Structure 1
Amino acid sequence: MALRPVMVNIKALDAPAVGRFWAEALGWTAYSPGVTTYVGPGGGLVWPDPVVLGIDVVPVPEPGTATKNRVHLDLATTSAAHQAELVARLRALGATPAQVGQGRVPWTVLADPEGNEFCVLEPREVYRDTGPIAAVVVDCADPRAMARFWGEATDWTLREVTDDQAVLRSAGNTGPYLEFLRTPDVKTVPDRVHLDLLPYPGDDKEAEVARLRALGATDIDLGQGDVPWTCLADPEGHEFCVLAPS
């Protein structure tokens, strides 16, 4: 048994507006099948997508804080010209420059219209086939511990692990990477960005949740109330949800 990452969940005061931003940013389409706005490749809503991680923008009443998210997206580019064009286009869509202590680096750090940080990377060969999202990046204290937990929690394959970084990707070697980077800061508030995981058809959600608890996940209350999904935190407190199979 294992779970598959299927969505990046973003909380927003104005979910449709943030959904439109990310759809334009990625060259995808924003769909509103319910109260949330789903962002995925064009051609009709496919969920879960067999390759990409979609974005699900969820409306919430509280604004974000000034605290940097510990989960963010890295966007891929194919050339220096593409990177410059994408940064200019994103700024025209409402993105703003962001300072997260990055110093002088070849990538550009921006924030979406509600302040969620993301990076537009310089061209990197490793991300040539990921699609527009190169990686979901998670700040952490212990990449090796995160590799153990997330490697067991999901069906993604561990590609690299060091004291400073752990990298996973789908077993099919498609779509974005999931990267855990060692950082000195500590988690103090819930993130506005997290991963949603889904059991495979025929697998029992509650059995999967019990397995995750045995691996070190803990139950959390984000004010979700009575919902069909389960909110958990990994051993370092990063929130994630286990969705109910459709």
Structure 2
Amino acid sequence: MIRWLWIFLDRPADRFDENARFWTTVTATSLSPTRGENSEFVTLLPESGRPSVKMQAVADDSRVHLDLDVDDVGAAAKRAQELGATLVLEHPDYIVLKSPHGMTFCLTPADRAEIEFPPLVTGPDGSQSRLDQVCIDIGATDYDAETRFWTELTGWTHRPGTLPEFARINPEQPLPVKILLQRLDEDRPTSAHVDLACSDIDAVARWHESLGARQVSRGAHWIVMADPADQPYCLTGREPE
């Protein structure tokens, strides 16, 4: 059983400080002390509530990956491989795998901390937002198989979205981070980006631009942005809760 879901923002080491400043500002968090063999890991700590976002300094390109807190890491890794995942690394503290079509994720030991959502983030003009969703971007040919993998791995309920290219997998117990599945119009390895729910997407976009992000494109109810490492993320018109 998945007890907690962590979003990991992997950013290049040579631009890590710049990106850490951006993400701590837009999530109203502060950085934990560094940890890891090369001091590469930090947690984004909200003023209250349980954190659900971490960052990692990496040598290569930016990406987003997930850490899934589970009761039995070894059993969960075995199950993931039975479902088609590939083993990447066995570490004493976690196991790294790739989904059948290429997305990195980690299985980590769960604790029993109480679930408490962090507060909403209020921008300079009063608009509110929350980083509350990871969108798994799946190539068109791989969509059915990859969707089946994530649904069976999590054991969560699959629900079609309002648009045919989207679906959700919902846990029985509410978590601060949701998972959205998106079918792309192209074929490429599975990856992920983060979404922020916003009370006013244009106001939040202006604030983020002032901090070093840029607008990439607009959709019906969202704006695609790029952070200071040029990693895409979305501001959505979903009401932040």
Q: Which range, TM-score by smaller chain?
A: 0.3 to 0.5
> TM-score, normalised on structure 1?
0.46
> TM-score, normalised on structure 2?
0.47
* Structure with a larger share of its residues in strand: 2
